[in-house]
Amino acid sequence: MREELPSNSPFCERYGVACPRVTETGWRALPDLVEEAAARAPRATAIIGERETTYGELARGVRAVAGGLAAAGVAPGDVVGLASGRSERAPALALGIMRAGAVYLPLDPLYPAPLLAHMAESASVRTVIVDGSTGGLPAAEHTTVDAAELLASPSLSDRLPGAAPCAAAYVMFTSGSTGLPKGVLLGHAGLAEYARALPAHLSLGGEDRCLGVAPLGFSSSIRELLLPLARGASVVVPAEEEVRTPWGVADLVREHRVTHLDLPPSYWRAVLDAMPAGELGEALASVRGVLFASEPLDVALTHRSRPLLPRARLWNTYGCTETTGIIAAHEVTGTEPADSLVPIGTPLGHVSFRIRPGDGGLVVSGDAVTLGYLTGGPPPGGGCARRRWETGDRVTTVDGTMVWTGRTDRVLKVRGMRVVPETVEHHLRAYPGIARAAVVGAGERGVACVVARTPASAPLDSRALTAWLRERLPGHMVPTVITDVPAWPVLPNGKTDHRLLIARHRPDPGQSPHH
């Protein structure tokens, strides 16, 4: 049974496109899936942070937030910012925003103030929920709502219409090529499909406890904090201090009997380097699944992991912000060739893949593909149309599974987070005295750049330059190596000879002081 109704989706109205609301028997948005899990087991533990939250409390919190936002005048389609770090309240706040039909936008207080201001302005944020500090977010352009007061609001969810599949569920900012990050809109239909596909692939159930370390402003936080809740599993939310010490995660796993870890390989490698193997192996005895995400996984790391996690299944996964998250997975078998990357596997089933002939570019289609960028206009056919996304990744198929072979563009990753070189170069060139700038590579520590100064300019003060960049870029994009060169190589057409610069100055990609 499928019923099509005239649209009142703010997304469609905003872009002036035909976008029918599709109501399908059985359609459930992510907040609905969580409420269903709560109805099945209201006393089960949903979230473990500074205190434990049951599913019943979580569901009440979600409805309270939705009701409180509606009472505050938030309308479906409005973008609501959440100024908060990772916390046990974040899932209820994010889901409550979505339950109100609004669009969730994390505003991580750890981001530089100008970046937060840009995010809030370009998303036309009029309401910001504040849980703790707002960081440097300017207060002038929006009203603020206190998170604790919102969670204590009367629930008004019966009057709320719920989310339409075509509507946007959340927006995440990712590196843009113009110097400023772009807001990526993700839809409810794709998020709900993702919430069914990934936890099912991992066989998550009500007895499982999941822990991840992604900051709230990073799209992996959607997967780590919200998706297990659609299956009735528990989410363990580490404090910032626990994520920043190598024993923090191990202690949490031991204390709460965590069953599933969700980590970027670079983070896991740092923990392995720091912790005595015996102590770590003992702490992780309850783990039965590790999901590696956000950056390429090398086979050597899986070989180091296996003796510590003899009972655990290990997955390498692949996905992008623009695909709502993970769309392919490969379970590590232990037979992968040494000195290689672990395959990214096969599609999870909620998306379709096509490998473009010629360059091997990976093209993804399905509801999980982004609705579009905040500044980029509407996707062809509106938010309900079948969409496709050219990932920029090159893959090849080996024995029926995909292997990542590189990029079709210059995008890099640092500790799982995307770096668009043009963004870094834009800000470097804007610094007084710098005429040319090029990103030449990225290692685990960060980005390496080469710059050339304007004639007669004074030598660069690297500290001042770094401080200046920190005010404009997220931490992972601030260069860790800046080399000032006297002569800038150019091609016959006058453009920068990136190949030569990279050959001369590229960092060792696996560079780590402990290897």
Partner 1 sequence: MSHTYDTAHDLRALVRDLWLSLLPDGHSGTFADGGGDSLSALRLIGAVYGACGVRMTWDDLGTATDVDDFATRVLAAVPGEDGR
Q: Give the residues lining the site for partner 1 (CB under 8 A).
A: 240-241, 243-247, 266-267, 270-271, 273-276, 415, 444-446, 462-463, 466, 475-476, 478, 480, 512-514
CB closer to partner 1 out of 58 and 290: 290
**Helices (H) and strands (E) in the chain — how many of each?**
16, 27
Task: Give the pair of three-digit tokens for residue 240.
Answer: 């910032």
* H or E stretch at 194: helix 188-201
Angle, helices 30-40/188-201, rounded to nearest 10 degrees = 50
Residues facing residue 79 across a β-bridge: 103
Tell me the pairing of strands 127-130 and 143-146. Answer: parallel
Question: Nearest approach, Cβ of 476 to partner 1 (angstroms)?
Answer: 7
Looking at the Cβ atoms of 218 and 318, the one nearer to partner 1 is 218
Place of tokens 């069953």: 259
Dump the DSSP string for 274-343: HS-HHHHHHHTTT--EEEE-SS--BHHHHHHHGGG-TT-EEEEEEEEGGGTEEEEEEE--S-SPTTSBPP
Residue pair 389/367 in contact (Cβ under 8 Å)? The answer is no
Q: At residue 52, what is the residue type? A: E
Helices (H), 378-458: 421-429
Nearer to partner 1, 245 or 396 (CB): 245
Backbone CA torsion sign across 235, 240, 246, 248: negative
Q: Least distance (Å) from partner 1 to the CB of residue 288?
A: 24
User: Which one-letter amino acid corresponds to residue 359?
Assistant: D
Spatial separation of the C-alpha atoms in residues 14 and 294, rounded to whole Å: 32
* Min CB(467)–partner 1 separation in Å: 8
Q: How many CA atoms lie within 13 A of 18 on its CB side?
A: 3
Query: Between 124 and 480, whose beta carbon lies closer to partner 1?
Result: 480
